Amino acid sequence: MLGTIVNCVAIIAGGLVGLLFKNGIPDRYNQTVMQAVGLAVLLVGLKTAIVSDDLLVIIISLAIGGLVGEWIGIEDRLERLGKLLEKKFSKGTGGFAQGFVTASLIYCVGSMAIVGSLESGLSGNHATLFAKSCLDGIVSIILSSSLGMGVLFSAVPVLLYQGSITLLATVLKPLLVPAVIAQMSGVGGLLILGIGMNMLREKKIKVGNMLPAIFIPLIWFVIQGLPGVA
């Protein structure tokens, strides 16, 4: 859990720094920086998405995962949670929910969150999560200067998400073969692309509802191992 804790601290610390500049940076600069970050997120997503050649599994995972996430209403639940926190902590400044949801998705969807948490739980190697902490801290400064206090509270879903993966890693160890991890990372990369597109245009892709897609390759691997399944 050390890597995840450091990650959360970096997000909060970066968010606090960003808040110091919130009133001192003109909106046009914030908009330009957000667009620059959006382009960078697109690049990260593209590089991550091409790690797996098993396109059929990735396509099916996105389709099934999107249906499951839409049925659960993940993005709507995140929005409601963000608005609830906004009422309690934002003092009517607005934009809290947007910052909370945007930052939560950016920090949780990526393959670094999954692979780093798995490494942390399986071998006690926190290097990937430490690297992710540096990146998230920088992004947190930029996001919180534009989107406000909601970014700081994204540390909560990061703690729950990455912490859960770390704790479950020991149980899942026999199933996490390199091919499965590559497929999960490929799906995660495409979701990162979706986040980058959301940062650059008004019409949003419901990336939050597609989060279950990341775990479909693991479920498919388990199904293939059942007796009588080719």
Helix, strand or coil, per DSSP, at residue 164: helix
pLDDT at 175: 76
Residue 120 placed within a domain: yes
The 10s digit of each residue's pLDDT in 75-109 is: 788 777 767 766 665 555 556 777 887 788 778 86
- Where in the sequence is the domain holding 73, given as residue range(s)? 2-224
Task: Give the pLDDT mean for 197-217.
Answer: 80
Q: What percent of the chain lies above the pLDDT cut of 90?
A: 10
pLDDT at 111: 62
**Residue located via tokens 């495409």:** 190
Angle at 199 between CA 48 and CA 34, to 5 degrees: 100
Task: Give the pLDDT mean for 13-19.
Answer: 89
The 10s digit of each residue's pLDDT in 158-178 is: 999 899 888 887 777 777 778
pLDDT at 63: 93
Higher pLDDT, 229 or 186: 186
Whole-angstrom distance, CA of residue 139 vs CA of residue 95: 17
Residue 9 placed within a domain: yes
pLDDT at 161: 87
The 10s digit of each residue's pLDDT in 210-220 is: 878 888 888 88
Residue 114 placed within a domain: yes
Higher pLDDT, 156 or 37: 156
- Judge contact between 107 and 113, C-beta under 8 A: yes
Residue 229 placed within a domain: no
pLDDT at 37: 72
Q: How many domains does the chain have?
A: 1
Residue 113 placed within a domain: yes
pLDDT at 12: 93
pLDDT at 182: 82
Write down the pTM of the prediction: 0.70
**Residue located via tokens 């388990």:** 222
pLDDT at 121: 81
Residue 230 placed within a domain: no
pLDDT at 184: 80
Q: How far is CA 143 from CA 79, 85, 88, 124, in A?
A: 17, 17, 20, 30
The 10s digit of each residue's pLDDT in 17-76 is: 888 877 656 767 767 777 787 787 788 778 878 877 888 988 999 999 999 989 988 878
